[in-house]
Amino acid sequence: MTSSTDAPRKTAVEKFLAIIERAGNALPHPATLFASMAVLVVVASALADWADLSVTHPSNGTLVEPVNLLTLAGLHRIMTGLVANFVGFAPLGTVLVALIGIGIAEHSGLMQAALRKLLFITPRSLLTPVTVFAGVMSNMASEIGYVLLVPLAGVLFKAAGRHPILGMAAAFAGVSGGYSANLLLGTIDPLLAGLSQEAARLIDPAYVVSPAANYYLMAASTPFVTLMGWWVTEKIVAPRWPDTASVDADDKLEPLSDSERRGLRWAGYALLILTTVTLIGIVPDSGFLRKIGVVGSDSVLQSPLLVGIVAVIFLAGLVLGVAYGVGAGTIKSDNDVIKGMSQQMATLGSYIVLVFFAAQFVAFFNWTNLGMIFAVEGARVVAATGVGPLPLLVQFILLTAFVNLAMGSASAKWALMAPVFVPMFMLLGISPETTQAAYRVGDSCTNIISPMMTYFVLIIAFMQRYEPKAGMGTVISTMLPYSIVFLIGWTTLFSIWYALELPVGPGAPLDYVSPVGG
């Protein structure tokens, strides 16, 4: 007989997510998974080669054949490329360089003081939407939101008496699930546009894809993603991570001291100086931060300010952290600065080990041509359906979302898919800009549940600070509701946008008409 003091019965959704969590946590360590998949790719390349598996590239007619790594030549390539694969893995450098600067800002106390200040001015009821929105907007600074915002959201929510993992989930949903939405252009826009343009020129040699090609749709998606993330956080995820009964003494919010307020003022002055210098360098046509030899808006989009955004983050963390530390008295010598850098690096041991194996897997997969073969076969299946443009684009969104589970990098995946789908869809009357927009919707929605996403293991490490037993299943089960709602909601928004014949960006038509007719 159930007593009134028994815990409330779990809902069907909570039971389902609990099963996913247990199943996911039963999987081996992510590093072991990457190592195992690297071995499987080698074996798969041999099987594909022995089976004479090949496809004809639909854009240029070349024969794409698998490269067998289970050969003497393959063994030599693996051995000689092991170190290069690791040190050349792009996310590794991004994380390390950014965290050196962020470590100074954290060690000096700047982050903690700024968070406490933010809590005093942000109503508790708006903490979730502000966190999701901040995550979405952080994408303009490349992938720094994974490194900076997610752990800060955990601290912020804990200090407000809410579960820190709930805050991390809200931030992660904005940063990764809303990866392509933004009110401003970021580093991903010119990157994807360049790949789309090269693919489009296989059909139309004069075609130009602007970095702002998807701006209208992505800007409109920003408040939409924020609202969806807010609803999922409070209605679905929050019951699994209830508010903390009390705030630890270390996390209790206290009014800022005089020294902390002085440190924030000094950091504010430093920020004002940095902003002024940046504006002087980027606003004038002859600004020193614009790309040399390029005119107009492209000189900004291709500028070292955006391309080298990680260096900007490092410099900002260094300057603001030191300014705060000197003002607040927490930094007294260069030893304190170096200590802040070192402490942050010490937390990345497990991440670096995982990156080593992840880098090998990604490199092996690219070497074998299996990715191109899968993409071409997938394109053939989609094209064979014979449906209209909108249903075809919806299928492409779903295909991208599915492929994203096995290949996390947005740019690498688009470099693989664009040469196949952009020309094919142009022949069906769909513009490259529209195809790219559909890709970005599908790519974003499943980032948060893809173990192949390069920052996935970092999120696990962040969550383990508060839940030591947290693993891959914890992250997937927590983020799955966001992924489902985002995919349904964002696909619906895209469909309505297309049905209303709204341009996805300035000068970016929905349809493609060949300049030579036919």
Q: What's the confidence (pLDDT) of residue 187? A: 61
Longest dimension (CA), the chain: 79
Q: What's the confidence (pLDDT) of residue 363? A: 82
> Which of 123, 128, 237, 218 has the alpha carbon at shortest distance from 179?
218
pLDDT under 50: residue ranges of the chain: 1-5, 7, 517-518
Return d(Cα 331, Cα 288) in angstroms, integer: 32
φ and ψ of 63, to 5 deg: -85, 125
Distances (CA, A) of 139 to 52, 100, 122, 144: 42, 20, 22, 7
Q: How many CB atoms lie within 10 A of CB 373?
A: 18
Terminal alpha carbon distance of the chain: 76
Return d(Cα 388, Cα 181) in angstroms, integer: 26
Q: What's the confidence (pLDDT) of residue 50? A: 92
Q: How many CB atoms lie within 10 A of CB 492?
A: 12
The angle that helices 90-108 and 144-159 make with each other, rounded to 10 degrees, is 40
Per-residue pLDDT tens for 112-132?
787 667 667 778 788 899 999
The answer for residues whose C-beta is within 8 angstroms of residue 229's C-beta and 6 or more apart is 128, 129, 132, 135, 170, 173, 174, 177, 178, 482, 486
φ and ψ of 511, to 5 deg: -110, 155
Return d(Cα 508, Cα 209) in angstroms, integer: 8
The answer for residues whose C-beta is within 8 angstroms of residue 401's C-beta and 6 or more apart is 442, 443, 445, 446, 487
The answer for residues whose C-beta is within 8 angstroms of residue 232's C-beta and 6 or more apart is 173, 481, 482, 485
Q: Is 46 helix (H, G, I), strand (E, B) or coil?
A: helix
The angle that helices 309-328 and 258-282 make with each other, rounded to 10 degrees, is 150
**H or E segment at 317?**
helix 309-328
| Cα 472 to chain centroid, rounded | 17
Place of tokens 């600004």: 287
Per-residue pLDDT tens for 187-241?
677 778 878 888 888 778 788 888 778 989 999 999 999 999 999 999 999 998 8
Place of tokens 């924030």: 264
Q: What's the confidence (pLDDT) of residue 326? A: 93
Q: How many CB atoms lie within 10 A of CB 347?
A: 14
Q: How many CB atoms lie within 10 A of CB 475?
A: 26
φ and ψ of 468, to 5 deg: -55, -30
The 3-state DSSP composition of the chain as helix, strand, coil percent (nearest 5) reads 70, 0, 30
Return d(Cα 2, Cα 348) in angstroms, integer: 47
**What amino acid is encoded at 171 in this protein?**
A
**H or E segment at 481?**
helix 472-499
Return d(Cα 61, Cα 451) in angstroms, integer: 34
Return d(Cα 122, Cα 247) in angstroms, integer: 18
